[in-house]
Amino acid sequence: MALTVGIVGLPNAGKSTLFNALTRARAAVGNYPFTTIDPNTGVVPVPDMRLDRLAALFTPPKVIPVTVTFTDIAGLVRGASGGAGLGNRFLGHIREADATALVVRSFDDPDVSHTEGAVDPLRDIDVLELELQLADLDTVNRRLEQSERTARLQKEKDIDFIELLQRVQRHLDGGSSVRTMQMSAGERAALRELWLLTAKPLIVIVNVEESAAALPVSDALRRRAATAGGEAIVVSARIESELADLDDADRAAFLADLGLSEPGLHRVARSAYHLLDLITFFTAGDKEVRAWTLRAGGTAVDAAGAIHTHFAKGFIRAEVVDVGELLAAGSYAAVRDQGKQRLEGRDYVVRDGDVVHFRFNV
């Protein structure tokens, strides 16, 4: 399954620098608003040591990781929901993403202007969230008006959906995002067709100066992100940009000098996975080792379908072993000798880290 994260922020927050580091692309970077006019898109592999170890065990010609598609969306400004800046054109790009990453600036640089006049990441979160909430409120108001008008003309009235829209309207009017609403799974599914911006999972990327890259997120920013229904991560876009141009050995040495155990972008990818409630399962053999994405709670037949519809239609059984047990045993034969490979049916709930071989009837 494809996973798309839209990178959003005020102009000069460091979005495009971060995007360049993510994708090793060359999106324009400049000290003026709207450097990014059209969304730049890059596909980024998600680092997973388990995949690397499986590749070392089987040494196949193909190793395919899970990927995340990042879209660099041009800078929003205060009033974007009403058309300020390039307004709703950018908001439309955000609607297509599965999750939203708000990049807020927490570094001082006299050579880089700030559209709000001063550095204040808490205020910037409020500005960005408000614009997304106002855009959602406009969407809900228009749909509510349409639904109420239709209900007056028809005998069959979708009262439940109208009441749901009214609840969402009140929630947004109160200055809260849709993702923080208490709703049933059915109600969330009913709202999906509206593509509400603030219903998407949220990551707040706090872009800090290099000296603060190894420090934790401040309590104030962590609480503000949690209030919005998301989580916050500290990243130095400048460091990530430098790391992107280094080879593996130099990258490891550079990280060690900075007191970092891994690039910040690894945390961004993992956070997106966590917020979207995804797990990774593997297929592994001499020809290919591959990581696959599945929603938590997905069954063996769902996992089979993620690979190919024929696997799901002709599903017979799944041969499953935990990746740690396979790596420790050293081969499928050893796993079977130890009695650790399991035969599971179509309703088996796949676990994160399962290595699965599907038997199916073509």
148-197 pLDDT tens trace: 888 776 655 578 899 999 999 999 999 999 999 999 999 999 999 999 99
Q: What letter represents residue 261's amino acid?
A: S
Which pLDDT does position 75 carry in this prediction? Answer: 61
Same domain, 185 and 40: yes
Taking the CB of residue 178, how many other CB atoms lie within 10 A of it?
A: 23
CATH number, domain of 343, equals: 3.10.20.30
Q: Is there a domain that residue 333 lies in?
A: yes
Range of the domain at 353: 297-360
Same domain, 244 and 345: no
Regarding predicted confidence, which is higher, 33 or 28? Answer: 28
Instruction: Tell me the CA distances in angstroms from 187 to 86, 133, 143, 168, 169, one per residue in order.
Output: 32, 19, 15, 11, 14
Q: Is there a domain that residue 237 lies in?
A: yes
CATH number, domain of 180, equals: 3.40.50.300
Q: Which residues pair with 206 in a beta bridge?
A: 104, 234
Same domain, 261 and 318: no
Taking the CB of residue 260, how many other CB atoms lie within 10 A of it?
A: 15
Same domain, 271 and 309: no
Which pLDDT does position 270 carry in this prediction? Answer: 81
Q: Is there a domain that residue 65 lies in?
A: yes
Q: Which of 243, 275, 307 is the last residue of a domain?
A: 275
Q: Is there a domain that residue 183 lies in?
A: yes
| Three-class SS state of 90 | helix
122-146 pLDDT tens trace: 999 999 999 889 989 999 999 999 8
Regarding predicted confidence, which is higher, 300 or 71? Answer: 300
Kindly report the average pLDDT of the chain as a whole number: 86
Which pLDDT does position 71 carry in this prediction? Answer: 84
Regarding predicted confidence, which is higher, 68 or 90? Answer: 68
Same domain, 137 and 185: yes
Same domain, 307 and 172: no
Least confident of 86-95, 151-160, 313-322: 86-95
Q: What gap in Å lies between CA 304 and CA 308, rounded to an integer?
A: 6
Q: Does residue 16 have a pLDDT over 90?
A: no
Residue 346 has which token pair?
């179509």
Same domain, 167 and 316: no
**Residue 252 neighbours by CB under 8 Å, 6+ apart:** none
Which pLDDT does position 68 carry in this prediction? Answer: 83
Same domain, 122 and 239: yes
Query: What is the band of 358 on the pLDDT scale with cuts at 50, 70, 90?
Result: very high
CA quadruple 19, 25, 27, 28: dihedral sign: positive
Instruction: Give how many domains the chain has, as a whole number.
Output: 2
Least confident of 64-78, 93-107, 123-137: 64-78
Which pLDDT does position 30 carry in this prediction? Answer: 47
Same domain, 139 and 213: yes
Same domain, 254 and 330: no
Q: Is there a domain that residue 280 lies in?
A: no
Nearest to 303 by CA among 278, 270, 274, 336: 278
Nearest to 280 by CA among 327, 231, 350: 350
In eight-state DSSP terms, residue 30 is -
Q: Is there a domain that residue 283 lies in?
A: no
34-59 pLDDT tens trace: 444 455 777 778 888 999 999 999 99
Mean pLDDT of 4-13: 86
Q: Is there a domain that residue 287 lies in?
A: no
Query: What is the band of 21 on the pLDDT scale with cuts at 50, 70, 90?
Result: confident
Which pLDDT does position 86 carry in this prediction? Answer: 44
Q: What backbone phi and psi angles, to 5 degrees, belong to 4? A: -120, 130
338-355 pLDDT tens trace: 999 999 999 999 999 999
